[in-house]
A and B are shown apart, each in its own frame.
Chain A
Amino acid sequence: MLKILDGRTIMPFSTACEADHGRMGGKCASLARMIAAGVNVPDGFAVTTEAYAAHLGSGELRNRIDGLIRSIDSDRVDDAEKKSAQIRDAIMAAAMPADIEADIRRAYRAIAGNDDLPVAVRSSATSEDMPDASFAGQQDTYLWIVGEDQVVERVKACWASLFNARAVAYRARIGLAQLDVQMAVGVQKMIDAAAAGVAMTLDPITGDRTRIVIDSAFGLGEPVVSGEITPDNFVVEKVLLEIVRRKIADKGHELVADRAARRTVARVIEASRRSLPSLSDAQVIAVARLAKSLEKSMGCPQDVEWAIDRDLPDGENVVILQSRPETVWSRKRPAATKSYAMGIEGVIGTLLAPLQVKP
């Protein structure tokens, strides 16, 4: 069995350096990078790929998974579903190595200060979030997890989610060795969001890079990310940082924390509030400003998840939960190199072209 070294299994976002990023998975590495760049990201830590590898071990659990994968009849969908469920059960049933479990508990207490801090536990796959192999959304996220026992349990659940039927099938299709895939897990302070959503630093419909398009709703951002609700939609001109379009949706539900029950709950929004904008204009601009600076520091168009922290004052309450490279337009290459008429020929071209300027 692999010897677990101190600090190898747990990597706080705030102290990770570039050399550690490989072990943290894409999502956690990106959070660490943003924190290093001074972006307001909630604190947390990664349970590294080495912890996952240690849990899988080299003996009984690994052999059992290997056997189940080999036995999948790829022509039968229900068989893949059944076998992958069995793999996940096996991962959940196996006891976590004691030193790793102790490390996770210690790390949780370090950010929580006590045993009451709600956190989000999310998978952070190593091949996820890359522009050329989007695994996004294929692993699980657990919100409002409170207490170290729960955290340990959800870390395991994230590991298990690596073997959901879709992911297994996807890896089989592209020829990725199932047991070589590494998985880290992020544990991050939960933001009690007044509003949250996503921001794209280009127009996803047209690819127009002068636009920042923001989807936003009351409460936590997951229903926006997963497309369960129709969010408010704001379009911001990127250079001038001016709102150029607002579409306020009729928002039926919001996902909010139920502190007493230690969980999130979908709550009906009262009639007087459901058609109000989930963000003030100033907040829209603050979100856009942050997304724009992320695009600049990351060097390419970004797809950003953000939230307005209820517990922070206006002006410093926009937090970034995730930022990943935009994948659709960034992969497109211009069909051919364009040439442009210059000088007087350009002027003539403009005078001759039917000109339609929308005000």
Chain B
Amino acid sequence: MTTHVRFPSPYQLKAPAGAEGWQRLYPYYLVFQDNLKEKEEKKFWFCDSQHWPSPFKPFDAVTVEFAVKCLGQYNTRHYLVPPANGVDYRIHNGYCYMSPVSVAPELIGGRVPQFMERAGYYFQNWDRLLVNWDKKVRANIADLEALNFEKLPEVVPLDWVTGGVGLDNTYGLMETYDRAIQLLYKTWQYHFEFLNLGYAAYLDFFGFLKGQFPGIPDQAIAKMVQGVDVDLFRPDDELKKLAKLAITLGVADAVKTGSLEQPLAAVAKAPGGQQWLDAWTAAQDPWFNFTSGNGFYSTDKYWSENPDIPLGYIRDYIVRLENGEEIDRPTARIAAERDRITSEYAELLDPEARAAFEGKLGLARTVFPYVENHNFYIEHWSMGVFWRKMRGLSRLLHDAGFWHNPNDMFYLNRQEVRDALFDYCNAWAVGVDAIGPDYWPAEIASRKTIMAALATQAPQPALNEPPTVITEPFTIMLWGITTESVGRWLNGTADKSQLTGMAASPGNVEGPARVIRSADDLGQIEQGDILVAPVTAPSWAPVFGKIKATVTDIGGMMSHAAIVCREYGLPAVTGTGNATSLIKTGQMLRVDGSTGEVTILS
């Protein structure tokens, strides 16, 4: 067998048929430029299909821009992480590729004192600063929530004229758009304010234990720091409470009737029904700001706008309760298990190491709640509000004739949306027809063809020549990319019935595969299936009661999928690279979440 030493260059990877010209969908700085070939080919790029598993619509690229830029700023400019700057990123054939930027060796030493002063301040004042973070993020969400995109009136209101305002309604409309983008930008700055430091402290604890016990499973280390009362699990917990309440109040059958409007109407008529409806309404703010995706796509379905999703889960829970099943997360058992594991490892250490263990564990447990909880506040809640507002703007311009479908705006990038909005405002002011209605429908149709063509091709796991050793800490922790995993991508395994990934959550089971590529297909999952997906989202939690195990293409120990699987006590193998392309629905699998091995049995 020949050993491949490099991945293809992006300059060799042509667009799939029908996707030619895709570059115009994205800003110039996000695509590989021809005149930079020599420079770009020297860098190693890996595909982040963990966060962006499918091609971006042009507007949705704002998520990768803001997220990855803001990740970088904290390493490079806030804390001066000694060996690591940010992560460079490009879009190629619709997928996102990342390239971590290391600091020149001679500059690392000089950054250490600055890191100690800046990051040290955060570690020392973590809890106080986090209280402040919570306030900032909630205020930011409130600001987003307050935004409204309203149709321009026939004329400027009289009192604006008589009040000498001197502005028209387009001024506010355009400001609202700019403000939405700025608030989104702020959201992503806040997202990384604590995250990189949280991972670094966790990594210190992780590396210490690996030094003490070379064979300690990653998941054992994660179990020592993971929280029990995690906000990320609250939405699911709320559904469980509503299921129980429905049974207690005797409205379970009403909840189970018909499609969406019918059950709510049926409950309203039932005695005690109003109490359940009040609880249902109360749970929504904020816990239904929860996406069945990962928050990075405009197509994400949020529970608040798609109440049939949480309602369906509640019905499942009711059925399981009626069958006498226990649906609550075993929080007491998880807490006891966390204590047992921690003390058993501590007992195996010599006294000096044990003192270090206690100290590092303390810091890791201080920072870890942020790592687990931020996801709800940013990806779910903040992003949920943002997408809802953007859909409002898209509908407004749709009503003004700019495109054929209410959500077509997302085929424009964020700068083009600003142009279209000005076009709308301009035409209103001049008293002519806007140009957009005669320009965008054809362009959007062409872009839809391109998007469909891009989606036919899976991304390359990586581009160009990999480094001999991957040492960049964030690459390893966030993306689960190691020297070994890159080696596996390059050479694959000779045996196509055997896949290897990260041992993310322990246990060994066999069962039929169910390959799920998007949240829309979650309904196909049957009791006892093994879920095989490019990546899973925490909000898929309700299906975790049905499945036996999870296998993903992408993801590390700290990926959201790994956290949820450990929480639900399900075996998980993450970061297999190509499980969704090798495995077909219905095949029998054996998943060993302790060794990271997946075997296709038939």
- A residues with a Cβ closer than 8 A to B are 203, 206, 208-211, 235, 237-240, 242-245, 281, 334, 337-340, 342-359
Contact between chains at A338 and B352 (CB < 8 Å)? yes
The CB with the most chain B CB atoms within 10 A, among A208, A238, A338, A351, is that of: A351
Q: Is B217 an interface residue when CB atoms closer than 8 A count as contact? A: yes
Q: Does B581 contact A (CB under 8 A)?
A: no
Q: B120 contacts which chain A residues (CB < 8 A)? A: 343-344
Is A357 within 8 A of B476, CB to CB?
yes
> Inside 8 A of B195's CB, which chain A residues have their CB?
none
Say yes or no: is B502 at the interface (Cβ < 8 Å to chain A).
Answer: yes
> Is the Cβ of B201 less than 8 Å from the Cβ of A347?
yes
Interface centre among B340, B360, B469, B480 (most CB of A within 10 A): B360
Cβ 8 A contact of A351, one of B84, B217, B344, B594: B84
Q: Does B396 contact A (CB under 8 A)?
A: no
B residues at A contact (CB < 8 Å): 81-84, 108, 112, 115-116, 119-120, 123, 200-201, 203-204, 206-208, 210, 213-220, 340-341, 344-345, 348, 350, 352-353, 355-356, 359-360, 363, 469, 471, 473, 476, 480, 482-485, 500-503, 506-508, 575, 594-596
CB within 8 Å for A354 and B115 given contacts A209-B348, A359-B218, A359-B503: no
Option from A208, A243, A345, A350 in Cβ contact (under 8 Å) with B213: A208
* Complex: A208 Cα to B214 Cα, angstroms: 7
CB within 8 Å for A203 and B215 given contacts A338-B353, A340-B353: yes
Which residues of chain B come closer than 8 Å to A206, judged between CB atoms? 214-215
Q: In the complex, A238 Cα to B341 Cα: how many Å?
A: 10
A334 and B596 CA atoms in complex are apart in Å by 33
CB neighbours of B345 from chain A (8 A)? 210, 239
Asked, given contacts A209-B348, A351-B82, whether A244 binds B217 with beta carbons under 8 Å apart, the answer is yes
Known: A244-B595, A359-B485. A210 touches B213 (CB 8 A): yes
Q: Are B360 and A210 in contact (CB under 8 A)?
A: no
Task: List the B side residues contacting A354 at CB < 8 Å.
Answer: 469, 471
- Residues in chain A near residue B115, CB distance under 8 A: 344, 348
> Given the complex, which residues of B lie within 8 Å of A237, measured CB to CB?
215-217, 220, 594
A206-B214, A244-B215 in contact; A346/B208 too (CB < 8 A)?
yes
User: In the bound complex, what is the Cα–Cα distance between A345 and B469 (angstroms)?
Assistant: 24
A-B contact count (CB 8 A): 134
Please state if A359 and B575 are interface contacts (CB–CB under 8 Å).
yes
> Are B595 and A240 interface neighbours, CB within 8 A?
no
Known: A243-B594, A342-B360, A357-B210. A351 touches B482 (CB 8 A): no
CA distance A349 to B308 in the complex (A): 50
Residues of A within 8 A of B484 (CB): 358-359
**A359 proximity list for chain B (CB < 8 A):** 218, 480, 482, 484-485, 500-503, 575, 596
Which of A239, A334, A340, A345: most chain B Cβ within 10 A? A239
Please indicate the chain A residues that have their CB under 8 angstroms from the CB of B81 in the complex: 351
Q: Count chain B CB atoms within 10 A of each CB in A203, A210, A349 and give the residue with the most.
A: A210
Given contacts A210-B216, A239-B220, contact A355 B350 (CB under 8 A): no
In the assembled complex, how far is the CB of residue B192 from the closest CB belonging to chain A, in whole angstroms? Answer: 16
Residues of A within 8 A of B360 (CB): 340, 342, 346
List, in ascending order, chain B residues with CB within 8 A of A239's CB.
220, 340-341, 344-345
Flag if A340 contacts B356 (CB, 8 Å): yes
A237 to B596, CA, bound (A): 14
Name the B residues within 8 Å of A344 (CB-CB).
115-116, 119-120, 123
Bound Cα distance from A40 to B181, whole angstroms: 69
Chosen A-B contacts, 29 in total, with CB atoms closer than 8 Å, are A208-B213, A209-B213, A210-B215, A238-B344, A239-B344, A240-B217, A244-B215, A338-B352, A338-B353, A340-B208, A340-B356, A343-B359, A344-B123, A346-B208, A347-B203, A347-B204, A348-B115, A349-B204, A350-B203, A351-B83, A352-B82, A355-B207, A355-B476, A357-B210, A358-B482, A359-B480, A359-B484, A359-B500, A359-B575
**Contact (A350, B352) CB under 8 Å given A211-B215, A240-B220:** no
Residue in B217, B352, B356, B473 whose beta carbon sits within 8 Å of that of A242 in the complex: B217
- Specify the main secondary structure of chain B where it touches its partner: helix
Query: Given A210-B345, A347-B200, A352-B108, does the pair A245, B469 have CB atoms closer than 8 Å?
Result: no
CB-CB under 8 A from B502, the residues of chain A are: 359
In the complex formed, the residue of B with least CB distance to A339 is B352
Q: Lowest 7 A-B CB distances belong to which pairs? A: A340-B356, A242-B594, A350-B204, A354-B471, A210-B213, A359-B502, A239-B344
Assess whether B116 is in contact with A240, with CB atoms less than 8 Å apart.
Answer: no
| Closest A residue by C-beta to B594 | A242
CB distance from B362 to the nearest CB of A (A): 10
Q: Taking the nearest CB of chain B, how far is it from the CB of A248, in angstroms? A: 14
Nearest to B355 among chain A residues (CB) is A340
A211 to chain B, nearest CB (A): 6
Q: In the complex, which residues of chain A have a beta carbon less than 8 angstroms from the beta carbon of B204?
A: 346-347, 349-350
Question: What is the CA–CA distance of A206 and B211 in the complex, to the nearest angstrom?
Answer: 12
**Using Cβ atoms and an 8 Å threshold, which residues of chain A touch B200?**
347, 350-351
Instruction: Compute how far the CA of A356 lies from the CA of B206 in the bound complex, rounded to whole angstroms.
Output: 12
Shortest Cβ distance from A125 into chain B, in angstroms?
A: 31
B594: A residues at CB distance < 8 A: 237, 240, 242-244
Q: What CA separation (Å) do A330 and B150 show in the bound complex?
A: 76
Given contacts A237-B594, A239-B220, A358-B482, contact A334 B503 (CB under 8 A): no
On chain A, the residues within 8 Å of B500 by CB distance are 359
A339 proximity list for chain B (CB < 8 A): 352
Q: Are B352 and A210 in contact (CB under 8 A)?
A: no
Verify A356–B217 contact, CB threshold 8 A. no
Which of A346, A347, A358 is most buried by chain B, counting CB atoms within 10 A of its CB? Answer: A347
What is the chain A residue whose CB lies nearest that of B223? A240
In the complex, A358→B360 CA distance in Å? 21
Looking at A344, A346, A350, the one whose CB has the most chain B CB atoms below 10 A away is A344
Taking CB atoms, residues of chain B closer than 8 Å to A240 are 217, 219-220, 341, 506, 594
CA–CA, A334 to B352, complex, Å? Answer: 11
Q: Which residues of A contact B119 (CB under 8 A)?
A: 344, 347
CA distance A237 to B507 in the complex (A): 12
Which residues of A have CB within 8 Å of B213?
208-210
A358 closest partner in B (C-beta): B484
Instruction: Report yes or no: A348 in contact with B217, Cβ–Cβ below 8 A.
Output: no
B492 to chain A, nearest CB (A): 16
Q: How far is the CB of A223 from chain B (nearest CB, A)?
A: 28
Known: A206-B214, A350-B200. 11 other contacts (CB 8 A): A208-B215, A242-B507, A242-B594, A340-B208, A344-B120, A345-B116, A347-B119, A347-B123, A349-B204, A359-B482, A359-B484
Chain B residues, CB < 8 A from A351: 81-84, 200, 203, 473
Closest Cβ–Cβ distance, residue A106 to chain B (whole Å)? 45
Q: Are A348 and B482 in contact (CB under 8 A)?
A: no
Q: How far is the CA of A209 from the CA of B206 in the complex (A)?
A: 17
The reply to whether B359 and A348 form a contact with Cβ atoms under 8 Å apart is: no
Q: Chain A's nearest CB lies how many Å from the CB of B472?
A: 8
Q: Is the CB of A355 within 8 A of B82?
A: no
The CA-CA distance from A240 to B503 in the complex, in Å, is: 13
Residues from chain A with Cβ under 8 Å of B208 in the complex? 340, 346, 350
Q: How far is the CA of A237 from the CA of B143 in the complex (A)?
A: 50
Give CA–CA (A281, B218) in the complex, Å: 21
Chain A residue at minimal CB-CB distance from B476: A357
B307 → chain A, closest Cβ, in Å?
Answer: 40
